Amino acid sequence: MRLRNIPGSREAIAESHWCIQEPEQYKGNWQQVFCSGNPIHIEIGMGKGQFLMTLAKQNPGINYIGIEKYSSVLLRALQKMEEEPLENIRFIRMEAETICDIFQENEIAKIYLNFSDPWPKDRHAKRRLTSRQFFARYNSILAKEGNVEFKTDNRELFDFSLEEVKEAGWKLDGITRDLHRDESMNAGNVMTEYEERFSSMGNSIYKLIASR
């Protein structure tokens, strides 16, 4: 899907208090941004921010960083933050491939991947956020006891992800092919904008939790 460019979105992002400019300078020192020693959770491909903002409200003792590469999408999240500020959340506009340049070893406590781009062509498999190449990146920044949570409505991507978890040498701590009917896996679930839309259409939501 082609995203509509919003004039002035990059300028607005550059001026926003909530969006970190030159994030590389905080590698290993992200607690300086939040002025606390609380654990840091990140969402890669955060969209308009509903999921992460809900978590930030529910968990003031956790710091959240949302990563989004599209300026027009990130702008919507920043507009929401202006309406209801949350000091335990920040955003970065960046490509996911460079996360190891932004975060230090063991710096992140949890990683969320929600309704990621499926990159359906086989030649683009390594670009999928649940590919073994990305799990190698997560291995570099995730704390020893940390984990990755992934949700999607795309069955092919989910099946691919299950295999990639194993190929990456990780283990599956939880798996469901119908999240909203799975009482244990759905406990405390926070829905994204896409999740609300897809589930209202009758689509099954798949979820896995992986750790090392």
For 59, the 3-state DSSP assignment is coil
Superfamily of domain covering 38-211? Vaccinia Virus protein VP39 (3.40.50.150)
8 A C-beta contact, residue 34 and residue 88: yes
Q: Which tens digit of pLDDT belongs to each residue from 186-200?
A: 999 999 999 999 999
8 A C-beta contact, residue 58 and residue 199: no
> Which pLDDT band holds residue 2 (cuts at 50, 70, 90)?
very low
178 catalytically annotated: no
Query: What does the pLDDT read at residue 7?
Result: 65
Give the number of other CB atoms < 10 A from CB of residue 74: 28
Is a pLDDT exceeding 50 seen at residue 81?
A: yes
**Which tokens go with 186?**
């759905």
What's the number of CA atoms in the CB half-sphere (13 Å) around residue 101? 9
Show me where the domains of the chain are located. Answer: 38-211
Rounded distance, CA 208 to CA 15, Å?
37
Query: What does the pLDDT read at residue 5?
Result: 63
Q: Which of 139, 159, 160 is nearest to 148 (CA)?
A: 139
pTM > 0.85: yes
Is a pLDDT exceeding 60 seen at residue 54?
A: yes
Of residues 117, 122, 173, 182, which has the active-site annotation? 117
